[in-house]
Amino acid sequence: MAYPASVLITGADRGIGLGLVMEFLKVPSVKLVIAGALSPDTAKRVFKRILIHCLLFIDPVVVLLFGGHFLVLGFLGDRRAINVIIGLHAITDGRLKIIKMDVTCDQSIKEAYAEVEKLVGEAGLNLVLNNAAIFPPYFTHGAIDRQKLMDCVNVNTIGVAISCQVLI
C-alpha cells in the first residue's frame, strides 16, 4: 500500500484523531504528520500523559529512552506492549508537528493553512483527514437543545466544508 508523504489530521488531540496520528507515525514512508488540535498545549499534555502512563504500566517490558529512540528489552509476547512501544516512539517522533486549528473559526483555519504551507513547502500536502467532530453525550437521551445541535452542525459539517475550501 502506498502512503502519503505528508498528512494533516484535524481533531488530533483525542479519540480517533489521536489514534490516526499514532497509526501514520508507525509508517516510515510518511515524512510529516501534522496534528491539527483545538488546543496544541492540551494536545502536547495528552501526548505526555500517554507517555507517562505507558512508562508506568508496562510490566513485561523495560523501556530505555535514548534521544527519542526506544530500546526494548525483555519479553514482547503481549501485543499490547508492542503497540505501547510503537505509540511511545510516535510521541517523540520528529515527524509530528502539532498546530492550532479550530474548525469553527475561519481565521483559525486560515492561520492553520499558513502554518501547513510553511511545514510542507514545495512538496505540498498529500492528504487531509477532516476528523474534527463532536457528538456530545446529551444527544443520546432527553430533549434536543437547538443551540447544541447547531454547535454539532457547525463543527461536523460547516467546519469540514470550510477546512476543505481553504486547505485544498
- Can you give the CATH number for the domain in which 151 is found? 3.40.50.720
- Cell 460547516 locates to 158
> By three-state DSSP, how is residue 158 classified?
helix
- Whether 157 is in a domain gets the answer yes
Nearest to 121 by CA among 17, 28, 34: 34
Residue 111 has pLDDT above 70, yes or no: yes
User: Other CB atoms closer than 10 Å to residue 13's CB: what's the count?
Assistant: 25
Euclidean distance between CA atoms 160 and 132, whole angstroms? 8
Identify which has the larger pLDDT, 67 or 158. Answer: 158
CA 116 to each of CA 13, 50, 96: distance values in angstroms, whole numbers, following the listed order: 17, 25, 12
- Amino acid present at 11: G
1 lies in some domain = no
Residue 76 belongs to a domain: yes
Please state the domain count of the chain: 1
Kindly state the average pLDDT of the residues 126-155: 84
Q: Is 62 within the bounds of a domain? A: yes
Most confident of 25-29, 52-56, 97-101, 114-118: 114-118
Question: Would you place residue 90 in the very low, low, confident or very high pLDDT band (cuts 50, 70, 90)?
Answer: low
Q: Is the pLDDT of residue 6 over 80?
A: yes
Which residues are 103's β-sheet partners? Answer: none
Q: How confident is the model at residue 30 (pLDDT cuts 50, 70, 90)?
A: very high
Residue 147 banded pLDDT, cuts 50, 70, 90: confident
The Cα 77–Cα 56 span in angstroms is 18
pLDDT at 119: 96
113 within some domain: yes
What nine digits make up the cell of 5? 508523504
Name the residue range of residue 97's domain.
Answer: 6-167
Task: Specify if 161 maps to a domain.
Answer: yes
pLDDT for residue 67 is more than 60: no
Confidence of residue 65 (pLDDT cuts 50, 70, 90): very low
Entry pTM: 0.74
